[in-house]
Amino acid sequence: MFPSSHCTVCGHRLGALELIPVFSFLIQGGKCKHCKAKISWYYTIFELLTGILFFLSYWIFGFSASCFMALVLSSILVIIIISDYKYYIIPDEIIVIGIFLLAVGAFFLGGGSLQHFQWGKAFYQVWIALRDGFAAFLLMYCLKLFGDFLFKKESMGGGDIKLMFIVGMVLGFPLAVVSIFVASIIGLPIALIILKMKSTHVIPFGPFLSVATLLLFFLQWDWLDFLFIFAK
C-alpha cells in the first residue's frame, strides 16, 4: 500500500487513468506518461493473469467462501511468483497476511450459510486449515534438512518452507504433498532452460510451487485422482 504506485525511474505518482490494468499500458504505449521511460511488460502480464484468475474464481466457485479463498490465494501467489522469480524473495508480510485471510475464509467455509451458521464447524475448519498448513510446513522443513545434508549446502530457501503453510491450508495435507511433485514436474524443463540461458545455479522454487497450487486448487483434484493418473 505504501508508497503509492509510481514510476520507478522518475518517481512520478500515477494518476487514476494510469492505473487501469492492461489498458493504461497499451494507451501509453508502454511508457511513463511523465518521463517516457519504458514500463516493464511484467506489470501487464501479471495484471492480465490476476484478472483471469479472479474471473475463474467466480466462474468455478460462484459467490461463496470458496471464491473468497480463491481470490486471496490468487493474489498472494501472483505476488510470490513475481517476487521470487525477480528477487529470490518471498516476503514474510505476504505469508502472514495470507494465513490470516485464508483462516477467515476457512471460518466462513466451515460455518455454512449465514442463515444457519454453525460456529463449532467454523472454528473446526480453521483448526483443520492451520493443522494441515503446519503439517505441510513441517514436511518442507524436513525436506530442506535432508537436502542440506545430501548436498552439503543450502538446498532450499526459507520462503519456500513458509509458502508451504499457505499450500497446506488451501489444499489439505495429502494434496499439499502432491503439489511438490507437480511443481517439480513443471519446474524441471523450465529450470533446464534457465540454467542454459542464464548460466546460474540458483532457481527459485516458489513460482513453480505457486503454479502447481493454483492448478490443483482450481481443478479441484484430490490426491487419489493424482495417483490414479499415474497408475493408468
pLDDT digits (tens, 9 = 90+) for 138-175: 999 999 898 888 877 777 888 999 999 999 999 998 89
The Cα 185–Cα 192 span in angstroms is: 12
Cα separation values, 232 from 113, 149, 215, 224, Å: 39, 35, 21, 12
Q: What angle do CA 169, 80, 2 make, to 5 degrees?
A: 110
The pLDDT-based confidence of 7 (bands split at 50, 70, 90) is confident
Closest CA to 132 of 177, 100, 182, 183: 177
The pLDDT-based confidence of 223 (bands split at 50, 70, 90) is low
| Helix extents (H) in the chain | 23-27, 41-61, 65-87, 92-111, 119-151, 158-171, 173-198, 206-219, 223-231
